[in-house]
Amino acid sequence: MLIKTGVSNMFFYVLVVVGFTIPLFSGDGDLDPSHGTAGIFTFDYDAGNDFVWGLAVQSDDKTVVSGSDSTGTMWVFTRINSDGTLDTTFDTDGFASVSGNEVIVAVAIQADGKIVACGSLFSNNTSWTEQVVRLNTDGSLDTTFGGTGIVSPQVGVFEDDSNFGQAVVIQADGKIVIVGNSTDPRDLFVARLNTDGSLDTSFSGDGIAHADLSTTPTMKGVQVQADGKIVASGHLSNDLLAVRLNSDGSFDNAFGTNGIVIEDLGTNTADNSFDLAIQSTGKLVFGGNSSNTPTLVRLNTDGTLDTSFDSDGIFSTGEVGSASEILVQSDDKIIMVGTGGPAPTQSMLIRMMPDGGFDNTFGTSGVVRTTVGGVNDRGTAVGLHSDFSIIVAGSQDVFMATRESFTALYENMLTPVDLISFSVD
């Protein structure tokens, strides 16, 4: 316990230790040995190549990792206890699967603990169809959702379009927002589902909002602002793409041009895979890759580049590698996960200051590279535990023909202590 005392308007802190030592500071960026073995837990769906796509952290700090098996015919969900062990209350062995020729991409947790995921199903050997799945807390399919636990709303303009569900977020009212892209026409879509899996017709008239673009976009992230507006991100050709919709599904004309921002980050640069997070100020942070370097971009609420962010609205980390996901902490610091090169690659975690630049109190000059043990290691998804520790999910090539999955837990911020304030006359 820290006791704050005051004498003649001067204050000092006293550490009170009763029978044990209380660490005041954790090593920001150090692996947390309470998770798995020395901070890392490895797991394997099958004997082939595992693919990790996303993660979500429950209120009890259990982590749900979404992925697919080596054959590409199953969505696989893994639930991991905070100590880095499989949660055997989840479908008896910690693994739950949904069969089909499918790719799962994103996962989110409802307020009631149910698990929602979106991705794509290769149907009739002709085209891809977006698919949304909801599981009960025990890993079983939730049959109150679309009757089977699986829904495939027709979001494309034409029935034979290929439609890819790419990101999911749960609104405060429990409605489910899916963002993705279609191949014909060159289209991005944002769909909103009611809690029973039906399309919400109060959103854009039929539950689906579309934007026909000059070329096929690839969507990556989606968030709901405090005012209920929906922001989605991705890339279009080699440029950052951001869109904002009003809560009724109309495009927000106060953002960019007709609700759309397309930002070229530099001449002859390949800008792609931009994820999205929102800071407490309402400013929008996008994390992705520009010229094979993890890069952050911050936009003002009107969609213009925020020049108070690293002077021009763009922060290039200069690291060799690629970014996968970002999140914003409660102090507005930005965390990015990805893969650091050159080969053999490592899982890479970067923490940056709220207004750009590395957070030098984290790892080595803001960067942590972790060798999990494989030939090549990749960081794919990131989340926060309730104590602010950082959980990362990814994959490792054990041998050139075998890929396994992992989670890693990192210490983050200060160890919580109790403060008592009193004055002495």
Cβ contacts of 164 within 8 Å, gap of 6 or more: 105, 119, 120, 128, 130, 180, 181, 182, 219
Beta carbons within 8 Å of 19's beta carbon, 6+ residues apart: none
Contact status, residue 96 vs residue 77, Cβ threshold 8 Å:
yes
- pLDDT value of position 6: 38
- Structural domains of the chain sorted by starting position, each given as residue range(s) with its CATH number in brackets: 28-49+265-413 (2.120.10.10)
What average pLDDT does the chain have? 86
Instruction: Tell me what the mean pLDDT of segment 385-407 comes to.
Output: 88
Q: Residue 145, SS3?
A: coil
Tokens of 53: 């796509």
Which has the closest alpha carbon to 128: 150, 146, 101, 147?
Answer: 101
Q: Cβ distance 168 to 140 under 8 Å?
A: no
Q: Which residues of 194-226 are buried (b: 16+ CB within 10 A; e: fewer)?
A: bbebebbeebbeebbbbbebeebbbbbbbbbee
pLDDT tens string 38-63:
999 999 877 667 789 999 999 999 99
- The half-sphere exposure of 275 on its side-chain side, counting CA atoms within 13 A, is 26
pLDDT for 47 equals 62
Q: What is the pLDDT of residue 237?
A: 85
pLDDT tens for residues 157-196? 445 566 778 899 999 999 999 998 887 666 888 999 999 9
Handedness of CA 46, 47, 53, 55 (dihedral sign): positive
User: What six digits make up the tokens of 47?
Assistant: 């004997």
pLDDT of residue 384: 97
Quick check: 345 pLDDT over 70? Answer: yes
Q: What is the pLDDT of residue 343?
A: 83
- CA angle, residues 230, 111, 165, in degrees to nearest 5: 45
Q: What is the pLDDT of residues 256-282, one digit of tens each?
A: 999 999 998 876 677 887 899 999 999
What's residue 421's pLDDT? 35
Q: What is the pLDDT of residue 138?
A: 98
User: Which comes out higher in pLDDT, residue 385 or 103?
Assistant: 385
pLDDT in tens, 76-102: 999 999 999 999 999 999 999 987 656
In this prediction, residue 272 carries a pLDDT of 87
What's the average model confidence in pLDDT over 237-252?
A: 95
Residue 105 main-chain phi, psi, to 5 deg = -120, -45
pLDDT at 123: 63
